[in-house]
Structure 1
Amino acid sequence: MLNYRHLYYFWVATKEGGIARAAERLDMAVQTVSTQIRELERALGHALFKPAGRSVELTAAGAAAVRLAEQIFQLGEQLPLAVREAAQSQGVRLSVGISDGLPKAAVRHILEPATETPGLHLVCVEDEFDDLLADLALHRLDVVLADRPAPANPNLKVYSHPVGDAALEWYAPAGLAAAADIGFPACLERMPLLLPTRHAAVRARIEDWFERRGLRPQVAGEFEDSALLAIFGESGMGAFPATEWSHDELTGHRALTLVGRCTEVVEHFYAISAERRVQHPLVQKVLAGRRTDVGNGLSA
């Protein structure tokens, strides 16, 4: 078993810029700190420091060790707060990572079974997909929602569960939609279009649909964030696609017009967990709430 006290002395030495300064911070003898770090090196089977003039510097193995040590002790610093919050909370906490650009209506729809839980404390964090998977593997998150499954990676033990499929629909301000009266989808050639960037998994499916339909779109803008895309569409910049789960918000709150339904293009959604057999009761609710009726905007 790794001796975390030895690892801590090594980490402090890297933060302080040397063993002597680490010993001063730890209020220990230099020889003691040096001995403990050598014990760590023996346990790991590699030297972590190498001479550099009158001082020392990290080896390649040492640099790799300090990156992981940084994560370990950052988590350690969070432990007292997490325990205190858990002890004081009367409800159930659910920490959800949301892949950047994921439609907010889809997030709300997927999490709906969990949000009905009394005393729920929901924490949603939006970030890059790869960064969220790293946080999930370190158990900083309970689940990650994304528009793609986690890539195969033997060093990253995470598991993807399909939780929804939603067909796309096209929306535009009433004035813009009225100007294109030749039927859907041909009318899309008469309007400027706003699209998700190629960062979104659905972008390739949209372009494939354009090609199969023989459409030559006039792309006026590309957006990673679906909410920002809708705002610019509402302003009159162009027609844009959104999942059918967004219909009520777009036609009601934003007063946009439905131009046409595109059941041939479906956006897929996944809940990614750090366990093959999910233990968190609220993540279990999310997975149990999945359905298969794509026509109704629900799926498994």
Structure 2
Amino acid sequence: MAENLNYKHLHYFWVVATEGSIARAADKLFITPQTISGQLSMLEERIGQPLFDRVGRRLRLTETGRLVLRYADDIFELGKELTDVLRGAPLVGTSEFIVSAASALPKTIVYKIIEPALSLSQEVSLMCREGPVETILGELAVHEVDMVLTDTPLSSAFSIKAYNHYLGQSDLSFFASPALAAKLSGPFPACLNEAPILLPTKQYAIRQLFDKWCHDSNIYPLIRGQYDDSALMKSFGKAGFGIFFMPSIIEQEVKDSFGLTVIGRLSDIKQKFYAISAERKVTHPAVAAVCSTARDIIFK
């Protein structure tokens, strides 16, 4: 049974496997070969399978031994790295920065928010993921990502120990293909009533705010599509399937990239943006760069 492994026993095994013999391992560890043999026997008993085959005076790893060695390599390499970091030694190579963004966030804004982290003096290797809010918060909970970007702040509904870092907010701009824009009647926002519209799915805060605004304003568009992915929504909007909205801070980019008409702007609703991290006080340099630049420049 491999429960509650004794890591001292595992370390002895690792040294024997890397040195190639109990005698050489004993010399390196400054203990007797008999002590190492006894510790290996206890580890094998705990695991329930032999780790070495004794071939004459030589030791040969079993299949289980090779599996355990792969894990032991990772464990003790991480231990050495931790010791070096605690002693102030710099990490070698690039620093990985893993970000998960809610799929409904416009990719242009995600880029604007993350870009400052790539301008740090140290090299940063970015891994960027996207997905539904619940999925990406789950990744944060198990420390698979350094930061989550979303328009929905973390609440008590999610049993996750993490913290919201407010980045800023933006008004909304409404877009339509030129052909669809020409068919709309009346001024904005009244022209949205009974007009085809494309919306984010209801898991996103901005969708909930828009639904409430429509109800309070007695405006009822015809929902032609609901999307988890903002890029897909823009593609359908470009094809003329419906009106859609985006944050006004990227209005010009959306208009130019997709050849769309801006039919109006709405300041009654603000789309808010949050970085969520496992830290209350941000110490990760890339997360700190994202938060400070977003507040001071992007959403100023």
Scaled by the length of structure 2, the TM-score of the pair is: 0.67
> What's the counterpart of residue 274 of structure 1?
278
1:202 is the counterpart of 2:203: no
Distance 1:282 1:274 in 2: 14
Distance 1:194 1:287 in 2: 30
How far is 1:292 from its partner? 7.7
Structure 1 stretches lacking a partner, 5+ long: 10-26, 36-72
The DSSP-based 3-state class of the residue aligned with 1:149 is coil
Distance 2:159 2:209 in 1: 30
The DSSP-based 3-state class of the residue aligned with 1:291 is helix
Across the two proteins, how many residue pairs are aligned to each other?
232
Distance 2:6 2:172 in 1: 54
The DSSP-based 3-state class of the residue aligned with 1:204 is helix
1:203-282 residue pairs with structure 2 within 5 A?
203-282=207-286
- Output the amino acid matched with 1:121: S
1:193 is the counterpart of 2:197: yes
The 1:32–1:192 alpha-carbon spacing in structure 2 relative to 1, beyond 3 Å, is same
CA contact under 8 A between 1:180 and 1:190: conserved in structure 2? no
Distance 1:270 1:142 in 2: 14
CA contact under 8 A between 1:197 and 1:222: conserved in structure 2? yes
1:88-237 residue pairs with structure 2 within 5 A?
89=93, 91-118=94-121, 119-152=123-156, 156-189=160-193, 191-237=195-241
> What's the counterpart of residue 53 of structure 2?
none
- Output the amino acid matched with 1:227: A
How far is 1:87 from its partner? 5.9
Q: Which runs of 4+ in 1 moved over 6 A?
A: 27-31
Distance 2:114 2:261 in 1: 27
- Output the amino acid matched with 2:45: T
Rg larger in 1 or in 2?
2
The DSSP-based 3-state class of the residue aligned with 1:148 is coil
> What's the counterpart of residue 32 of structure 1?
45
Distance 2:5 2:256 in 1: 57
The 1:234–1:153 alpha-carbon spacing in structure 2 relative to 1, beyond 3 Å, is closer
Distance 1:154 1:180 in 2: 41
The 1:237–1:113 alpha-carbon spacing in structure 2 relative to 1, beyond 3 Å, is same
> What's the counterpart of residue 299 of structure 2?
298
Distance 1:253 1:227 in 2: 12
CA contact under 8 A between 1:176 and 1:191: conserved in structure 2? no
Deviates more, 1:153-162 or 1:180-189: 153-162
Scaled by the length of structure 1, the TM-score of the pair is: 0.67
The 1:115–1:292 alpha-carbon spacing in structure 2 relative to 1, beyond 3 Å, is closer
Structure 2 stretches lacking a partner, 5+ long: 11-39, 49-70, 82-89
Root mean square deviation of aligned Cα? 3.3
- Output the amino acid matched with 2:102: S
The DSSP-based 3-state class of the residue aligned with 1:198 is coil
1:55-66 residue pairs with structure 2 within 5 A?
none
